[in-house]
């Protein structure tokens, strides 16, 4: 692994599923790779579905702020907003001219989304923009969720096709899944935590709000009375303990739940200690960054300059290879 790239959706509504599933891994990658860890807030992707201009601006800012608050340090990594680096769209156009329509029409995400919205052509072609995002930096490592694997395959195909026709320019990137990328359950116990299901615990949500959700969250359905032994492995509160609590407390909960040594309310209160320990420092940092928005914007501008210096080199090679007049 020499250079990693990841696109960050512009949303400030980030929940603990995002935090434990992806963001912690970004912070780790940043420590390993420094400036070679490239994080791009993908606002051009966000406009492939109908959007409100002010909301988009706010969400792009929030995405930067929240990621910085959880520990992504813009001085250490490369962090910027996609639309500030026009080489992404320029390279996307070049790739589009080389990509058969059928390759895009068979993308599962396109097929799913096309059922829900009237189809804008950007929705069809955005996997090509995603390929350009990655290949503009010749990134070899792409941390992604399972839903993006097909797009990384397409990126590899685009790189292969281009190299075959015009000469070796692009490496074929690899999708990597963080070992500890967890499928965090939603607080309603109905499968994965997701914004669309409204079952999230937000990382910037007030601790009191989080407690009101956890207090009424379902536990092991077979544990009807305090005196019934429970099965922590059938309880989402125990899943949360594994994320937030230290190993000693997690082990205690596992044992005591199974022999009815603790009640569910106490168990949830124990969980809140870890929730507070994890989230309050993040929320404090977010509040501090919110007081100095210019510092966030300046960090993004610097990141865009750094990213652009890399992307420009790739574009020069690409333009030369396909025969554009200088």
> Looking at the annotation, which residues are catalytic?
113, 192, 195
3-class SS at 37?
A: strand
Contact 18, 8 (CB under 8 A): no
Half-sphere exposure of 58 (CA within 13 A, CB side): 7
Residues 49-78 that bind ligand SF4 (CB under 6 A): none
> Can residue 237 be called a binding residue for ligand SF4 (CB under 6 A)?
yes
**Do the annotations mark residue 220 as ligand-binding?**
no
Nearer to ligand SF4, 165 or 273 (CB): 273
Instruction: Name which position in 253, 286, 289, 311 contacts ligand SF4 (CB under 6 A).
Output: 253
> Can residue 275 be called a binding residue for ligand SF4 (CB under 6 A)?
no
Indicate the length of the chain as a whole number: 326
Instruction: Name which position in 19, 61, 238, 240 contacts ligand SF4 (CB under 6 A).
Output: 238
Nearer to ligand SF4, 84 or 252 (CB): 252
CA distance 198 to 196: 6
- At its nearest, how many Å lie between ligand SF4 and the CB of residue 273? 14
Alpha helical stretches, state H, the chain: 16-18, 24-33, 43-46, 53-70, 87-96, 101-105, 108-116, 121-135, 149-166, 207-215, 236-244, 247-258, 264-290, 293-322
**Full strand arrangement of the beta sheet holding 37-41:** 78-81, 37-41, 4-8, 141-143, 174-176
**Do the annotations mark residue 17 as ligand-binding?**
yes
**Do the annotations mark residue 163 as ligand-binding?**
no
> Can residue 230 be called a binding residue for ligand SF4 (CB under 6 A)?
yes
Nearer to ligand SF4, 18 or 245 (CB): 245
CA distance 67 to 12: 9
Residue 37 bridge partners (DSSP): 4
Instruction: Name which position in 81, 131, 267, 300 contacts ligand SF4 (CB under 6 A).
Output: 267
Instruction: Name which position in 14, 152, 264, 311 contacts ligand SF4 (CB under 6 A).
Output: 264
- At its nearest, how many Å lie between ligand SF4 and the CB of residue 193? 17
**Do the annotations mark residue 192 as ligand-binding?**
yes
**Do the annotations mark residue 107 as ligand-binding?**
no
Contact 211, 269 (CB under 8 A): no
Residues 194-223 that bind ligand SF4 (CB under 6 A): 219-220, 223
Contact 29, 63 (CB under 8 A): no
Query: Which residue reads 């068979």 in tokens?
Result: 106
- At its nearest, how many Å lie between ligand SF4 and the CB of residue 199? 17
State both tokens at 297.
Answer: 């914007």
In Å, how far are 6, 97, 126, 183 from 173, measured between CA atoms? 12, 21, 18, 24
- At its nearest, how many Å lie between ligand SF4 and the CB of residue 206? 22
| Contact range with ligand SF4 by CB under 6 A, out of 55-63, 172-180, 202-210, 232-240 | 232-240
Residue ranges of the binding site for ATP: 9-11, 17-18, 145-147, 184, 192-196
Residue ranges of the binding site: 9-11, 17-18, 133, 145-147, 184, 192-196
Residue ranges of the binding site for L-tryptophan: 133
**Chain residues that interact with ligand SF4, rule: CB under 6 A:** 219-220, 223, 230, 232, 235, 237-238, 253, 257, 262, 264, 267-268
């Amino acid at each position: 692994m020499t250079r990693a790239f990841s696109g960050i959706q512009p949303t400030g509504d980030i929940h603990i599923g995002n935090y434990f599933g992806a963001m912690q891994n970004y912070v780790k990658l940043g420590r390993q790779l420094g400036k070679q860890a490239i994080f791009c807030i993908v606002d051009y992707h966000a406009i492939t579905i109908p959007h409100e201009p002010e909301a988009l601006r706010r969400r792009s800012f929030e995405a930067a702020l929240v990621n910085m608050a959880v520990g992504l340090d813009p001085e250490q990594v490369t962090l910027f907003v996609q639309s500030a680096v026009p080489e992404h769209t320029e390279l996307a156009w070049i790739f589009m001219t080389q990509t058969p329509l059928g390759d895009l029409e068979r993308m599962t995400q396109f097929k799913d989304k096309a059922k829900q919205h009237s189809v804008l052509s950007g929705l069809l072609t955005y996997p090509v923009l995603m390929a350009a995002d990655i290949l503009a930096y010749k990134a070899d490592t792409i941390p992604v969720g399972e839903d993006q694997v097909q797009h990384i395959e397409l990126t590899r195909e685009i790189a292969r096709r281009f190299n075959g026709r015009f000469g070796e320019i692009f490496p074929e990137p690899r999708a990597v899944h963080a070992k500890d990328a967890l499928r965090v359950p939603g607080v309603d116990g109905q499968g994965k935590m997701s914004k669309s299901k409204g079952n999230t615990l937000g990382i910037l949500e007030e601790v009191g709000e989080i407690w009101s959700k956890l207090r009424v969250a379902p536990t092991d359905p077979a544990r009807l009375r305090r005196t019934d032994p429970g099965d922590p492995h059938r309880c989402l509160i125990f899943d949360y303990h594994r994320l937030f609590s230290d190993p000693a407390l997690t082990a205690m909960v596992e044992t005591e739940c199974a022999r009815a040594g603790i009640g569910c309310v106490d168990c949830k209160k124990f969980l809140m200690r870890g929730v507070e320990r994890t989230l309050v420092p993040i929320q404090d940092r977010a509040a501090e960054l919110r007081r100095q928005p210019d510092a966030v914007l300046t960090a993004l501008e610097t990141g865009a300059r750094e990213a652009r210096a890399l992307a420009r080199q790739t574009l020069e090679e690409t333009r030369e290879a396909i025969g554009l007049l200088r």
